[in-house]
Structure 1
Amino acid sequence: MTITKAQDKGSNGSYELVWSDEFDKDGAPDTANWQFEKGFVRNHELQWYQPENAYCKDGKLIIEARNEHVLNPGYLAESTDWRTNRKYIDYTSASLNTAHAKKWLYGRMVMRARIDTAAGLWPAFWTLGEKGQWPSNGEIDIMEYYRGKLLANIACGTNTAYKAKWYSNTTPIKNLKGKNWSKHFHTWRMDWDSTAISLFVDDSLLNRVELKDLVNQDGTEINPFKQPHYILVNLALGGDNGGNPSHTTFPRKYEIDYIRVYQKKD
């Protein structure tokens, strides 16, 4: 798809479009852009990630959460690992990322999407740094939703492995304009340069953190936001933060109209 000036809401005189996926071709997502996570992955979440739950239709990427009851192929009866001690998979969904294909240092990242805010759902649009162990590689949650609130988060490392220093702001959905807010598409944006990271929804600032405050607190003096990051989009369920989906009817959809990346002109 050729993006017209009228359609291009992310650029201005100082930015130019360097990458996008408009999801215009029906079928599986473009593997030149996206790869899939598989299985139980993080945060004690309930869903089993699999490629079958992501597809493009009518110009949108659909990530679909389903209520399914199948055997966990990795099940180990005596295991103490949450990934392998569950005999059954009760939910499936999808998680996609650009780690194998596309990474960027600084720029403007934009997603137009409609998120489902039913109980237990945990959709996200985020980035991770290409090098380092989490969270010392850096995490930016441009959009994260669970339990009635939007989150705009940035995390760097501490002197304890796998313990993040979070810079987080939350916004209750009920405080956003319109009683049917979640029924509509909205635009999330990150502006990231060598001085700060700013996170927006529909052009309203949700969070801003200066890069000088994001140095890993482990004595290395590494700033994980001065390295390239890749994009992730996923729809999780339950787990550490997502809430209880047991009274939610399925399937449920996270609908993404486009994802675009801009960088400043030389």
Structure 2
Amino acid sequence: MTTSPTTISVPADHVLVWSDEFANDGLPDATKWVHETGRNKEGWYNNEKQYYSGPRLENAQVHNGVLTITARKESNSDQTDWGGQAYSSTRLATLGKKDWTYGFFDIRAKLPCGKGTWPAIWMVGSRGAWPAGGELDIMEWVGSKPERMFSTVHTTAGSGGNGKGADAPIADACNTFHNYQMYWTAQQVIFAVDGKVHFIYKNPGTGVDAWPFDAPQFMILNVAIGGDLGGAVDDAVFPVQMDVEYVRIYQKSK
């Protein structure tokens, strides 16, 4: 019987295959990221309250080696796709730019403070509709419960409130940088903070409904506001921001 690991680090046989060190000031690197804005008019999932902007320094800016995603209390009523939202934010994705199957994912970030904030670092299947394509939530956190973050796996066999996951105690997520990590193989997906494991999802071997994770996934960085998970919003906290020092992805060397 194999023992489940309690800590993880970059495996010795893995090499860096993709990264963003946020070295160039200005807008996020358009060769690596797209701004997802497709549901602004009809509203985003889970009753979220934000409008996701296109390229706009007020909502996503790289400065001094850090990507800052800022959520603001403002109306973007001058935009043709505005859906009546009272908040703006950004959702960056590698969709159409890059995706991965398996690897070690390491994202160093500091989360926003305040009730109603809902930042996430996550991955979604590049092929097929949700949840059949799978979803891997490396980090989700809500400002109403600032002492814990959580990681969740969504599949056809269990999604939304029936997703499989666990949380981890992290008292200073909104004022200190931490490394949010995932080690994904054909056998299991391991989630950790600063190398300390808090959840392992094993391949049950029952087919694609419970394990769609033999196919590519792309990455998303976003700050949602309110909604089913974000909860009641405290307008006094805005603007709020998620800072990301780097995104690094390692895969097994050929």
Determine if contact 1:112/1:188 at 8 Å carries over to the other structure: yes
Seq. identity, %: 31
| Equivalent-residue separation in structure 1 for 2:71 and 2:181 (angstroms) | 24
Rate the CA distance shift 1:91–1:69 in 2: closer, same or farther, 3 A. Answer: same
Counterpart amino acid of residue 194 in structure 1: A
Counterpart amino acid of residue 26 in structure 2: G
| Equivalent-residue separation in structure 2 for 1:215 and 1:31 (angstroms) | 36
Rate the CA distance shift 1:94–1:181 in 2: closer, same or farther, 3 A. Answer: closer
SS of structure 2 residue aligned to 1:128: strand
Partner of 1:57: 63
| Equivalent-residue separation in structure 1 for 2:165 and 2:21 (angstroms) | 29
| Equivalent-residue separation in structure 2 for 1:20 and 1:215 (angstroms) | 32
TM-score normalised according to structure 1 size: 0.82
1:168 Cα offset (Å): 1.4
| Equivalent-residue separation in structure 2 for 1:50 and 1:112 (angstroms) | 23
| Aligned positions of 1:4-43 closer than 5 A | 11-38=10-37, 39=40, 40-43=43-46
| Equivalent-residue separation in structure 2 for 1:214 and 1:259 (angstroms) | 32
- How many positions carry a matched residue from both structures? 237
| Equivalent-residue separation in structure 2 for 1:185 and 1:150 (angstroms) | 13
> Which runs of no fewer than 5 residues in structure 1 stay unpaired?
1-8, 76-82
Rate the CA distance shift 1:170–1:215 in 2: closer, same or farther, 3 A. Answer: farther
Larger Rg: 1
Partner of 1:243: 231
Determine if contact 1:123/1:236 at 8 Å carries over to the other structure: yes
Question: In the alignment, is residue 265 of structure 1 matched against residue 253 of structure 2?
Answer: yes
Partner of 2:51: 48
Partner of 1:202: 194
Partner of 2:180: 188
Partner of 1:155: 154
TM-score normalised according to structure 2 size: 0.86
| Aligned positions of 1:157-172 closer than 5 A | 157-158=156-157, 165-171=162-168
Rate the CA distance shift 1:66–1:181 in 2: closer, same or farther, 3 A. Answer: closer
Per-residue CA deviations over 1:113-170 (Å, capped at 9, x if unaligned) read 10023111000000011111101110000000013131110110149xx867511112
Counterpart amino acid of residue 47 in structure 1: Q
| Equivalent-residue separation in structure 2 for 1:208 and 1:17 (angstroms) | 23
